[in-house]
Amino acid sequence: MRILFVGDVVGRSGRAAVLEILPGLVSDWKLDLVIVNGENAAGGFGITEAIYQELLDAGADAITLGNHSWDQREALVFIERAPRLIRPVNFNQGTPGRGAALIDTKNGQRALVVNGIGRIFMQAFDDPFSAIDRELNACPLRESADAVVVDFHGEASSEKQAMGYFCDGRASLVVGTHTHVPTSDHRILPHGTAYMTDAGMTGDYESIIGMDREEPIGRFLRGYPAARFEPADGAATLSGVAVETDDASGLAKRIAPVRIGPVLDQTFPTFWAT
């Protein structure tokens, strides 16, 4: 299975990059499964139903979220009728929506997509390890799903790395989101799970983690906020990770970072070159 995970889409600029670039990647790379983290897609904070549908129409098969899941209040309602919108599985009991979903892929297979959120330097939600463990045990790789992808939304690299090894051999891909800075540690772990600490953001990199630079710099200088953060509106770079799995095991055979756009050095999965 050919999988593309797209890192946090930030604001209008990030959405424009997805709408422009993703349909061509689906076609050119013959992608089977596309997952997009959309928790910053609406003005940098949250997601709306219209944006959710826009990302699906561009080629996404599932949309994951994170700590900004409910910044757009309508998400608390429309998530119940959005089966491919997945919020962190370890949110408090009774939270609307779902933390995992079995998704029909473009090639007729089925993929389990799980979203978790870390607790280090973040709000203290329920234990993500036990929550994700339950989902992996309930829908085992190859027995019930042809692929398993875990989006772990966290601040601490150590917690993300721990989750990678915790899931090794039970997931096709464990990828970190949230910090908006792509890491260079993409690799296949000893038991066959593809891993990357952070997929980076899909947004304007001439910014401070996707936000217009003036207010964040001012807050560091002043020590207090003077205005709200606004997403940067320059040309965006699509950032993420590409993985190819083995059909027999569901585990990863190859992994490569994806960066398409200005500012960062562009990189592609050469093993899918046409």
Chain segment 179-214, per-residue pLDDT in tens: 999 999 999 999 999 999 999 999 999 999 999 999
Chain segment 33-52, per-residue pLDDT in tens: 999 999 999 999 999 999 99
Q: Which two tokens stand for residue 92?
A: 């408090």
Residue whose structure tokens are 């947004």: 203
The helix (H) or strand (E) run that includes residue 167 is: helix 157-167
Q: pLDDT at residue 62 above 90?
A: yes
CA geometry: angle 14, 16, 19, nearest 5 deg: 115
248: how many CB neighbours lie within 10 A of its CB?
A: 7
Residues in the chain, overall count: 274
Query: According to the model, what pLDDT value does residue 274 have?
Result: 58
Residue whose structure tokens are 């992994």: 255
Cα–Cα distance measured from residue 270 to residue 10, given in angstroms and rounded to the nearest whole number = 26
Query: According to the model, what pLDDT value does residue 124 have?
Result: 87
Q: pLDDT at residue 229 above 70?
A: yes
Cα–Cα distance measured from residue 239 to residue 99, given in angstroms and rounded to the nearest whole number = 23
Cα–Cα distance measured from residue 240 to residue 237, given in angstroms and rounded to the nearest whole number = 10
DSSP code per residue over 171-232:
-SEEEEESS-S--S--EE-TTS-EEES---EEB-SSSBTTB-SHHHHHHHHHSS-SS---B-
Chain segment 154-188, per-residue pLDDT in tens: 999 999 999 999 999 999 999 999 999 999 999 99
Query: According to the model, what pLDDT value does residue 273 have?
Result: 72
Going along the chain from its start, the domains and CATH numbers come out as 2-209+235-269 (3.60.21.10)
Global pTM value: 0.97
Q: pLDDT at residue 129 above 80?
A: yes
> What average pLDDT does range 111-138 have in this prediction?
97
| Active site (catalytic) residues | 68
Question: With bands split at pLDDT 50, 70 and 90, how would you rate the model's confidence at 245?
Answer: very high
Q: Which two tokens stand for residue 105?
A: 């892929």
Per the prediction, the chain carries an average pLDDT of 97
**How far apart are the two ends of the chain, measured CA to CA in Å?**
17
